[in-house]
Amino acid sequence: MAASFDPGSFGHPGPLGRAAARRTSKPSAAAVATGSAASAASAASRPVGAVTRGTTNTNRLRRMDRWIVHTLGPALRAARQPPVAVDLGYGAAPWTAVELYGRLRAARPDVRVVGIEIEPSRVAAALPYAAPPALTFRRGGFEVPLDGDRAQLIRAANVLRQYEEEAVEAVWQRLCGRLAPDGLLVEGTCDEIGRRHVWVALGPEGPRTVTFAARLGGLGRPSDLAERLPKALIHHNVPGRPVHAFLTDFDRAWAAAAPYGAFGARQRWVAACTALSERWPLLDERGRWRQGEATLPWAALAP
Ligand SMILES: C[S@@+](CC[C@H](N)C(=O)[O-])C[C@H]1O[C@@H](n2cnc3c(N)ncnc32)[C@H](O)[C@@H]1O
């Protein structure tokens, strides 16, 4: 019998996974070899990728979920068949998959969320929360096993952060190849309780956008998000690289917008984004900025 999968019913157990975490070295590009004959042969029996720390937390990915529902909502609603969404690498407990299901269901009631984890005991721990066909859990890796389906969404949060940078491009390609024609891959990183987030969104053709999202109350400056940059960007936050220039300009705009802080951190963020958009191609309208988001085309920040 399936356990209740109401996200609100889990309480707040605090960060999970550390106790169960295995000490692993960073998986190399070789470990996620994608496309060689050898990997194709082994993929049938062995998930592609490597077990990494399983740290997760309830409500950690709410900012990412909110953006996903906003961005993907029209495609979810337009899908002819029940759309399939994957929470890849959900960790030591299934909270993020359960919550993703709850949030996507609001946009598309017959959505199917599949939590995929490479570590077998984490799959076993999640199974009591399955509610098939709406919410299921299975073992797998970057091959994204879906029994012939393609994913409308693949969300991989705090997964690639633990791999080597050289692995990223091949993994992105592999995951993008598992998307439906109008599907989206969202890959990024956040802090333990989801106050600071940065993610890349990719379509089947490749990277599209980068989103910075923060809890604005208590944010010192926008570059505080630098430590949460996704693997593809974090090693490029050095002078002379676009992401460093962007964060430097964002900090300046944030400082100049300090007087708006009297009206609240949201007003200050919106004022900073308005100023920043004179130099950088910020996407979206003020409504998203008010959520504490700032999104740019990938091309503006690509290393
Ligand atoms: C830090 S946890 C992230 C949990 C959750 N996504 C979150 O953000 O709270 C990373 C998880 O990704 C899993 N993982 C790593 N590589 C994977 C792969 N190739 N396929 C599936 N899961 C993977 C690890 O086993 C680990 O449980």
Q: Atom 22 (ligand 1): residue with closest C-alpha?
A: 89
pLDDT in tens, 33-55: 443 433 444 445 799 999 999 99
**71 CA to centre of ligand 1 in angstroms:** 23
Strands 206-214 vs 196-203: parallel, antiparallel or unpaired: antiparallel
Contacts of 70 (CB under 8 A, 6+ apart): 288
Residue extents of the structural domains in the chain: 16-204, 222-301
Q: Amino acid letter at 116?
A: I
Query: What's the pLDDT score for residue 45?
Result: 73
Residue with tokens 């399983």, as numbered in its chain: 54
DSSP secondary structure letter of residue 205: T
pLDDT in tens, 114-166: 999 999 999 999 999 999 999 999 999 999 999 999 999 999 999 999 999 99
**162 CA to centre of ligand 1 in angstroms:** 9
Query: What's the pLDDT score for residue 281?
Result: 97
* Chain centroid, CA 61 distance in Å: 8
Query: What's the pLDDT score for residue 8?
Result: 29
Query: What's the pLDDT score for residue 113?
Result: 98
CA angle centred on 129, ends 77 and 13, rounded to 5°: 105
* Atom nearest to 142 CA in ligand 1: 19
Query: What's the pLDDT score for residue 30?
Result: 53
Q: Atom 5 (ligand 1): residue with closest C-alpha?
A: 90
119 in contact with ligand 1, CB cutoff 6 A: yes
Q: Say how many C-beta atoms besides its own lie within 10 A of residue 300's C-beta.
A: 16
CATH-assigned architecture of domain 16-204: 3-Layer(aba) Sandwich (3.40)
Q: Is 136 exposed, middle or buried (0-12, 13-18, 19+ CB in 10 A)?
A: buried
Query: What's the pLDDT score for residue 36?
Result: 41
Give the separation between CA 222 and CA 276, rounded to whole angstroms.
Answer: 12
All residue ranges of the chain with pLDDT < 50 are: 1-24, 33-43
Query: What's the pLDDT score for residue 41?
Result: 40
189 in contact with ligand 1, CB cutoff 6 A: no
